[in-house]
Amino acid sequence: MASLISLASRSIRPARRVVPSAVRALSSSPVHRAQPTAEASSSAAPAPPLNPKIGQIVDQIAGLTLLEAADLVDALKEKTVFNVQLTKIDAAQKAKAIREVKAIMPGMNLVEAKKFVESLPKTLKEGANKEEAEKLQALFKGIGAEVALE
């Protein structure tokens, strides 16, 4: 046991000592940064003038705390996320609606899709973006169903 301790103490190296003159030399050395050339600055397109309304919004967002910014993100998500609810189906188009519901919900079999269509109103899709929600709405309106976006 004593031999292990002596072996371990020999293998541990002392920490390197930083020489103050080396630190001073590094900290006082000039930093060379590339300066933009006239060609590089002229090739970049000038930024378009900022709309005053957008400028005010940017200033307000910049002044938010982290919690307020998180609340803003949640509020914006609520405005851009929709629930698609199937409210009514034309009786003559019931078979088409069942096929569409089964196609949209892959885990659903034909019997479950039939029960879904017969027990309206039901939520067809939750958390859909605007494009997807409008696509589903157009699809079901095309087969004679009523769809509500919430």
pLDDT confidence bin for 55, thresholds 50/70/90 = confident
- The position carrying tokens 């307000």 is 60
Q: Are strands 81-89 and 122-129 parallel, antiparallel or unpaired?
A: antiparallel
- Mean pLDDT score, 111-121: 90
> Tell me, what's the pLDDT at 39?
53
Residue 111 binned pLDDT confidence (cut-offs 50, 70, 90):
very high
Distance of CA 81 to the CA centre of its chain: 12
**Confidence (pTM):** 0.48
Domains in the chain (CATH in brackets) are 81-149 (3.30.1390.10)
Quick one: CA torsion of 107, 109, 115, 120, rounded to 10 degrees?
A: 40
Give per-residue pLDDT as tens, 89-107: 888 888 898 998 898 888 8
Q: What is the pLDDT of residue 50?
A: 77
What is residue 144's predicted lDDT score, i.e. its pLDDT?
Answer: 86
d(CA 100, CA 108): 11
Mean pLDDT of the chain: 76
pLDDT of residue 131: 86
pLDDT digits 0-9 by tens, 63-74 = 989 898 888 888
